Amino acid sequence: MKRVLFVCVENANRSQMAEAFARLHGGPGVEALSAGSKPSGLINPRAVRFMAERGYDLSRHASKSLDEIGGEFDAVITMGCGDSCPWVPARIREDWALPDPKHMDDEGYRTVRDTIEARVRELLARL
């Protein structure tokens, strides 16, 4: 089982979508998790709406803290949170430096979502 962790500050948008795509495309051999350095406690309703367009119900997810996540990871991906995301050891560690879509228009939000999906597929191929 490969373990992948996606991290952003609020754990409300980017990291949640990445976790969802890893679950969608990873199959039973991948455990996908997400967390935030300062979680908002909510999943952005727009993230729920735009993931529903991909057939995924993000409303079942919860915004959670890195303190709630433990264990070893094959990959840890930060979403562009800079120094706000603590270092978590992993075989693969990357910062995707993606803009937070929470204030973007619908087209911009979908662009970030689609970029995340493409990057998750590429990451899964490398695991």
Q: Which residue in 113, 102, 112, 100 sits closest to 46, CA to CA?
A: 102
Residue 82 has pLDDT above 70, yes or no: no
Residue 57 confidence class, pLDDT cut points 50, 70, 90 = very high
Average pLDDT over residues 51-61: 96
Residue 35: domain span = 2-126
Q: In CATH, what number is assigned to the domain containing residue 53?
A: 3.40.50.2300
Q: Count structural domains, the chain.
A: 1
What per-residue confidence (pLDDT) applies to 37? 87
Q: How confident is the model at residue 127 (pLDDT cuts 50, 70, 90)?
A: very high
pLDDT-derived band at 89, boundaries 50, 70, 90? confident
The pLDDT-based confidence of 83 (bands split at 50, 70, 90) is low
Kindly tell me if the per-residue pLDDT of 7 is higher than 70.
Answer: yes
CB 89 within 8 A of CB 58: no
Residue 2's alpha-carbon distances to 27, 72, 111, in angstroms, are 10, 10, 27
